[in-house]
Amino acid sequence: MAGQIPQRFIDDLLARVDVVEVVGERVQLKKAGKNYSGLCPFHQEKSPSFTVSQDKQFYHCFGCGAHGNALRFVMEYDNLRFPEAVEQLASRQGLEVPREGADDPRAQVREKKRQQGVNLLELSASFFRERLAMGEGGKARDYLARRGLSQDIVRDFGIGYAPDEWESLKRHLSGQGIAESVQVEYGLLVQREDSGRSYDRFRDRVMFPIRDWKGRTIAFGGRVLGDAKPKYLNSPETPVFHKGRELYGLYEVRQANRQLERVVIVEGYMDVVALAQFGIRNAVATLGTSTSEEHLNRLFRLVGEVVFCFDGDNAGRQAARRALETVLPLMIDGRQARFLFLPEGEDPDSLVRREGPEAFADRIVCASPLSEFLFEQAAEGRDLQRVEERERFATMVLKALERLPEGVLKSLLLSELSSRTGVEQGRFKALLKTPEPVAPAAMATEMPPGESEYFEEPPLPQPQRKRQGNALGLMSRTLQLLVHEPELVERLPEELDWCADNESDGRLCREVIRLLRAGRYRSMQVLLAHFQGTEEGQRLSELARRELLIPHTARATELDGLVAHFRQRLAQYSPQNEFDALLAREKGGEKLSREEKQRLMELLVALKSAGAR
């Protein structure tokens, strides 16, 4: 059903489920003091660095930084999006997930239209599969057999056949009560403007259903069997299909791989299917477009490494340069991009058949890293023995590095550039423009507002913080300093008692400090990426965008002063004062968090115990 899941239901659901129980069903946990520990399911490790807290209902890995509550764990581990993860946890409790706006007539109309579109596309996919098995599908079966595709692969990818008739699918869908106008809207029929007559878009073609992340058919690609043009034909843009963000084969890749580490981007359906036939089940293809940031953001949410696979000709090299430009701003620490160029005249389909899967897999592993390809492109056609040519080479590399987020990779590339040109690294740093922070909103892979609820997951709740104008409180200023200068965490005292949960941004500040201390986060972009798509991420992004007016040389002193202030105030702040403040907020109608309610009870017990003594 359409509509946003109410926040109150999500809060209640998380209060009912036990994160230890949810995680323990998928990860072997052992009691370790108050917490539980085990091997992290999100990265390879030999000694446990993954901790689950029953008291805090929270998990955290000190190795890879993965963290969150039971809902986040189900989303990440089971490759589910927000609504499906909520539904899975709710089913454990015997709860039905409510939706806001369910009684709104306009929402009901949208839901009815969505269901009609879902039904239409699934009926069409079933129709094409049936026709492949019938007598009229003989030519298509012969074609697939010549390409060496097994029945298992044909089944896994839902391949079918569109008959060589003008109105075959149209008659079938109309017989199911689906209006022609809907068939036209979803790209299955073409309507002539002059006569108004409609006919099947796909005729005499092998049909490849394009599926969304949940396995629902959203569009089709057809490969012609005769001499008709174009050779490959995709569905047009529809309410549920947008070429610039969809990847053919991604659903099948996720189904075939529980622990997915690398994805290969190829050019066509048959490349994906042929590689799958030979056991290489981690390939996807764009749908007639260049690789976009949306494509890459989606993939980097699943894997740490993306391999671009191109033909070795000029067109392939040009496509690789475009891919390099696209991927550079997304290369936060921990991500890898590689570039694989095939021998001229070969594509993945032909090469894997000629060389075999092991040789092709070796090519993938040995693909050029981003750094190597970047320097190779900048040096192409230049005589680096000449000063002028080295200047142009360095300028081109620096222009690329300006698009790269701050981090280890950027530092290493600057060092390599210095080594290749003989210019001090510090001089290059002075020439670099500081890139804009990559905010979570820019890196998210959610659908733009207003697109079909066929994909839509409800937006995350907006921060409910009370602020006076644009001025930041002292704790917020502390958090802002850490966002802009993560290395300042080394100056903070070991104990975090000064970082009070009842302060604005206090709880988030604690979490950021813990993450920074885990040793993985030393750049703003990596920190923002960790919280991508969450309420906390929105807040950190807001602080990152605000200009930090304190001079760089004075920031450490500023942080020391803020912490000293909080510690001095803590010394003067009694449990009774904290209890009174929390109680006043609750009586004033403000909803306390679970941690704040727990703290309120702890203070009440402590004060009663002190009174008894």
Interval 535-550: pLDDT, tens? 888 888 888 888 776 7
Mean pLDDT value of segment 223-230 = 86
- The pLDDT > 90 percentage for the chain reads 35
Find the range with the poorest average confidence among 316-320, 325-329, 544-548, 569-573.
Answer: 569-573
What pLDDT score was predicted for residue 470? 52
Interval 147-174: pLDDT, tens? 999 999 999 999 999 999 999 999 999 9
**pLDDT higher at 94 or 63:** 63
pLDDT of 334 > 90? The answer is: no
- The pLDDT > 70 percentage for the chain reads 86
What pLDDT score was predicted for residue 222? 95
Mean pLDDT value of segment 132-159 = 95
What pLDDT score was predicted for residue 521? 60
**pLDDT higher at 524 or 532:** 524
**pLDDT higher at 594 or 288:** 288
**Helices (runs of H) and strands (runs of E) counted in the chain:** 27, 16
**pLDDT higher at 574 or 359:** 359
pLDDT of 497 > 50? The answer is: yes
Q: Residue 575 phi/psi, 5° resolution? A: -55, -35
Mean pLDDT value of segment 109-132 = 84
Q: What is the DSSP string of 80-129?
A: --HHHHHHHHHHHTT-PPP-TTTT-HHHHHHHHHHHHHHHHHHHHHHHHH
**Alpha-helical runs (H) found in 269-337:** 269-277, 293-300, 314-327
Task: Retrieve residue 408's tokens.
Answer: 């280890």
Query: In which band, very low, low, confident or very high, does the pLDDT at 199 lie, cut at 50, 70 and 90?
Result: very high
- 211: exposed, middle or buried (C-beta count within 10 Å: 0-12, 13-18, 19+)? buried
What pLDDT score was predicted for residue 467? 37
Mean pLDDT value of segment 379-392 = 89
Q: Which amino acid is at 49?
A: S
| pTM, two decimal places | 0.59
HSE value, Cβ hemisphere, 13 Å, CA-based, for 30: 7
pLDDT of 469 > 60? The answer is: no
Query: Cα–chain-centroid distance for residue 40?
Result: 19
Residue with tokens 């907020």: 585
Task: Retrieve residue 333's tokens.
Answer: 């620490």
What pLDDT score was predicted for residue 574? 62
Please provide the average confidence, as pLDDT, over all residues in the chain: 83
Query: In which band, very low, low, confident or very high, does the pLDDT at 464 lie, cut at 50, 70 and 90?
Result: very low
What pLDDT score was predicted for residue 164? 94
**pLDDT higher at 441 or 394:** 394
pLDDT of 113 > 70? The answer is: no
pLDDT of 29 > 80? The answer is: yes
Instruction: Collect all residues with Cβ–Cβ distance below 8 Å to 373 and sequence separation of at least 6.
Output: 320, 324, 339
Query: In which band, very low, low, confident or very high, does the pLDDT at 56 lie, cut at 50, 70 and 90?
Result: confident
Residue 22 host element (H or E):
helix 19-24
What pLDDT score was predicted for residue 249? 95
Mean pLDDT value of segment 34-59 = 86
Task: Retrieve residue 175's tokens.
Answer: 């017989």
